[in-house]
Amino acid sequence: MRQTLIAIVENRPGVLNRVASLFRRRNFNIDSLNVGRTEDPDVSRMTIVVDSNQADARKVEANLYKLVNVIDVQDVTGQEAILRELALIKVSASPDKRGEVLSLVNIFRAEVVDVKADAMIVQLTADESRVDSLIELLRPVGILEIVRTGHVAMMRGINEGKRYTRWADADEEDYYTNGHHLAGD
């Protein structure tokens, strides 16, 4: 089973390396990992998809909290969340195949972002199954190259994902004032 976690971390050098090393040491397979700044330039948001079961997701969260630079971790698996992926797909596009590619682009509400004499690059932002479907339909045309970002996720409304740690219900100020995030509790 795949679990989708959102980790809010300090935007500092080495944080990504520490998170990836933690997964390596614990033998968790990262299916996808996205990192980007948030509305606060001192904070980054990681969307981590791991191949695990429910118990393993709890272990991953607990281990993430052991890292000093981790501020918050939420499990959004099965929650009311929006999950999206960006895919760039380069296809062989001789003039006689362009109409077929453009038809698929329109059906999937994708867009052509580059056209050359012998190839086109299609961009699609959608959920994983929609990206997979477009890729399968473009295969007969001739896929030359694919790059996918993996998931980014955000909870709908003002909801938050699940938190499994014993500090999940603690007042945020109390949590940081008492140094629990530094102690790895």
Residues 24 and 91 in one domain: no
pTM reported for the whole predicted model? 0.77
pLDDT tens for 12-21 read: 999 999 998 8
Domain for residue 35, yes or no? yes
What domain count does the chain have?
A: 2
Round to whole Å and give the CA distance between 34 and 40: 17
Domain for residue 13, yes or no? yes
Confidence of residue 131 (pLDDT cuts 50, 70, 90): very high
pLDDT tens for 137-182 read: 999 999 999 999 999 999 998 888 888 764 544 444 444 444 444 4
Checking if the pLDDT of 110 tops 70, the result is yes
Q: What is the DSSP string of 110-158?
A: -EEEEE-SSEEEEEEEE-HHHHHHHHHHHTTT-EEEEEE---EEEESTT
Look up the domain containing 174 and give its range. 2-80+158-183
Round to whole Å and give the CA distance between 9 and 15: 8
Domain for residue 153, yes or no? no
Residues 90 and 144 in one domain: yes
Q: What is the mean pLDDT of the chain?
A: 85
pLDDT tens for 22-40 read: 888 888 888 899 999 999 9
Residues 52 and 113 in one domain: no
Round to whole Å and give the CA distance between 114 and 126: 19
Checking if the pLDDT of 103 tops 70, the result is yes
pLDDT tens for 38-60 read: 999 999 999 999 887 655 777 88
pLDDT of residue 148: 96
